[in-house]
Amino acid sequence: MSVTLADIEAAARRIAGVAVRTPVLESPALNERTGARVLIKAETLQRVGAFKFRGAYNRLSQLTPDERTRGVVAFSSGNHAQGVALAARLLDMPAIIVIPSDAPAVKVAATRGYGAEIRFYDRAGEDREAIAADLAQQRGAIIVPAFDDPHIIAGQGTVGLEIADQAAALGTSIDLVVGPVGGGGLMSGVGLATRARHPAARIVGIEPSGFDDTRRSLAAGERMGAPPAARSLCDALESPMPGRLTFPILQRTLSDVLTVTDAEVAEAMRYAFEVLKLVVEPGGSAPLAALLAGKLEVEGRVAAIILSGGNVDPDLFRRVLARET
Amino acid sequence: MSVTLADIEAAARRIAGVAVRTPVLESPALNERTGARVLIKAETLQRVGAFKFRGAYNRLSQLTPDERTRGVVAFSSGNHAQGVALAARLLDMPAIIVIPSDAPAVKVAATRGYGAEIRFYDRAGEDREAIAADLAQQRGAIIVPAFDDPHIIAGQGTVGLEIADQAAALGTSIDLVVGPVGGGGLMSGVGLATRARHPAARIVGIEPSGFDDTRRSLAAGERMGAPPAARSLCDALESPMPGRLTFPILQRTLSDVLTVTDAEVAEAMRYAFEVLKLVVEPGGSAPLAALLAGKLEVEGRVAAIILSGGNVDPDLFRRVLARET
How many residues are recorded in chain B? 325
Catalytic residue, chosen from B52, B77, B107, B188, is B52
The torsion defined by the Cα of B23, B29, B34 and B37, in degrees rounded to 10, comes to 40
Whether B106 shows a pLDDT value over 90: the answer reads no
How many Cα neighbours within 13 Å face the side chain of B263? 1
Burial profile B233-264: b = 16 or more Cβ within 10 angstroms, e = fewer: bbbbbbbebbbebbbebbbebbeebbbbebeb
What pLDDT does residue A124 have?
A: 87
State the Cα–Cα distance between residues B286 and B299, nearest whole angstrom. 19
Q: Does A26 touch chain B (CB under 8 A)?
A: yes
CA distance B36 to chain A (A): 16
CB atoms within 10 A of CB A133: 15
* Facing A321 at nearest CB: one of B23, B28, B314: B314
CA distance B154 to chain A (A): 23
- Helix and strand numbers, DSSP H then E, in chain A: 14, 10
Whether B1 shows a pLDDT value over 70: the answer reads no
State the Cα–Cα distance between residues B127 and B121, nearest whole angstrom. 8
CB atoms within 10 A of CB A169: 9
DSSP B272: I
- Complex prediction ipTM: 0.94
What pLDDT does residue A103 have?
A: 82
State the Cα–Cα distance between residues A19 and B28, nearest whole angstrom. 9
Residues whose CB is less than 8 angstroms from the CB of residue B209 and which lie 6 or more positions away in sequence, other chains included: B232, B259, B260, B261, B262
Q: Does B25 touch chain A (CB under 8 A)?
A: yes
- Helix and strand numbers, DSSP H then E, in chain B: 14, 10
What pLDDT does residue A225 have?
A: 86
How many residues are recorded in chain A? 325
Whether B187 shows a pLDDT value over 80: the answer reads yes
3-class DSSP assignment, residue A14: helix
Chain A to chain B Cβ contacts (< 8 Å): 64
CB atoms within 10 A of CB A210: 18
- What is the bridge-based pairing of β-strands B176-180 and B302-307? parallel
Q: Determine whether the interchain pair A279/B273 forms a contact, defined as Cβ–Cβ distance below 8 Å.
A: yes
Q: Determine whether the interchain pair B47/A28 forms a contact, defined as Cβ–Cβ distance below 8 Å.
A: yes
State the Cα–Cα distance between residues A143 and A71, nearest whole angstrom. 9
**CB-CB neighbors (< 8 A) of A275 in chain B:** 49
* Whole-structure pTM value: 0.95
User: Which of these, A99, A288, A83, lies nearest to A185 by C-alpha position?
Assistant: A83
What's chain B's average pLDDT? 94
What pLDDT does residue A102 have?
A: 86
Q: B189 with B156: CB under 8 angstroms? A: yes
State the Cα–Cα distance between residues B210 and A239, nearest whole angstrom. 52
Range with the lowest mean pLDDT among A64-73, A162-171, B40-49, B126-135? B126-135
What confidence tens digit (pLDDT) does each residue in B269-320 have?
Answer: 999 999 999 999 999 999 999 999 999 999 999 999 999 999 999 999 999 9
Q: Determine whether the interchain pair A278/B274 forms a contact, defined as Cβ–Cβ distance below 8 Å.
A: no
Q: Does B222 touch chain A (CB under 8 A)?
A: no
* Facing A45 at nearest CB: one of B25, B273, B280: B25
Catalytic residue, chosen from B188, B232, B285, B308, is B308
Best of B106, B277, B281 to disrupt the A interface (most A CBs within 10 Å) is: B277
Per-position pLDDT tens, chain A of length 325: 689 999 999 999 999 999 999 999 999 999 999 999 999 999 999 999 999 999 999 999 999 999 999 999 998 868 999 999 999 999 999 999 999 898 878 778 888 889 999 999 998 889 988 999 999 999 999 999 999 999 999 999 999 999 999 999 999 999 999 999 999 999 999 999 999 999 999 999 999 998 999 999 999 999 998 776 678 898 888 888 999 999 999 999 999 999 999 999 999 999 999 999 999 999 999 999 999 999 999 999 999 999 999 999 999 999 999 999 8
**CB-CB neighbors (< 8 A) of B44 in chain A:** 277
Q: Does A317 touch chain B (CB under 8 A)?
A: yes
AA letter at A238: E
Q: B128 with B57: CB under 8 angstroms? A: no
CA distance B17 to chain A (A): 11
C-alpha dihedral sign at A43, A47, A52, A53: negative
- pLDDT band, residue B218 (cuts 50/70/90): very high
3-class DSSP assignment, residue A305: strand
State the Cα–Cα distance between residues A280 and B176, nearest whole angstrom. 30
Distances (CA, A) of B258 to B209, B233, B268: 9, 16, 15
DSSP A228: P
Average pLDDT over residues B194-206: 96
Least CA distance to B309: which residue of chain A?
A277
